[in-house]
């Protein structure tokens, strides 16, 4: 069974940093691209960033480019999101998502349960 478990969320002040982690199990992690997708409670889904199977291709939404950094450690079956210069509008539930492909294709097949990030003073 595919499992994706996010951690690292919490309350953080505007302008500060936070690092999210996602631990994967139940599949061969380095056979797939993975993504971060966020959702403001009660609102729609927003893709944040994706990384290919070996980290060779990385993409970011315009709203986070230059502030967020995605990375993965295949030896640890883990995905990360370093979030700097956080803003109130970054407040959301952040999902770790497995793609069906090795590339950043956007076929979002398996989802974690999410970790909540709240940016507030």
Partner 1 sequence: SSELTQDPAVSVALGQTVRITCQGDSLRRYYANWCQQKPGQAPVLVIFGKDNRPSGIPDRFSGSSSGNTASLTITGAQAEDEADYYCTSRDSSGNLVIFGGGTKVTVL
Q: Which residues bind partner 1 (CB under 8 A)?
A: 35, 44-47, 50, 59-61, 95, 100, 104-114
* Smallest distance from partner 1 to CB 116, Å: 13
Question: Which of 15/56 has CB closer to partner 1?
Answer: 56
Question: Which of 6/121 has CB closer to partner 1?
Answer: 6
Burial class (CB in 10 A: 0-12, 13-18, 19+), 25: exposed
* Smallest distance from partner 1 to CB 67, Å: 16
* Smallest distance from partner 1 to CB 38, Å: 11
Non-local CB neighbours of 67 within 8 Å, separated by 6+ positions = 83, 84, 85, 86
* Smallest distance from partner 1 to CB 55, Å: 16
Question: Which of 66/75 has CB closer to partner 1?
Answer: 66
> 104 is written with which tokens?
């950043």
CA distance 33 to 54: 8
Q: How many helices (H) and strands (E) does the chain have?
A: 0, 11
């Amino acid at each position: 069974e595919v499992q994706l478990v996010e951690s690292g969320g919490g309350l953080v002040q505007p302008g500060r940093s936070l690092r999210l982690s996602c631990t994967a199990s139940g599949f061969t992690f380095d056979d797939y691209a993975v993504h971060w997708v966020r959702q403001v409670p009660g609102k729609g889904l927003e893709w944040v960033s994706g990384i290919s199977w070996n980290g060779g291709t990385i993409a970011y939404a315009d709203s986070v480019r230059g502030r967020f950094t995605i990375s993965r450690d295949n030896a640890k079956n883990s995905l990360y999101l370093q979030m700097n210069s956080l803003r109130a509008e970054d407040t959301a539930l952040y999902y770790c998502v497995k793609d069906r492909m090795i590339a950043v294709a956007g076929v979002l097949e398996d989802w974690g349960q999410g970790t909540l990030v709240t940016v507030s003073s």
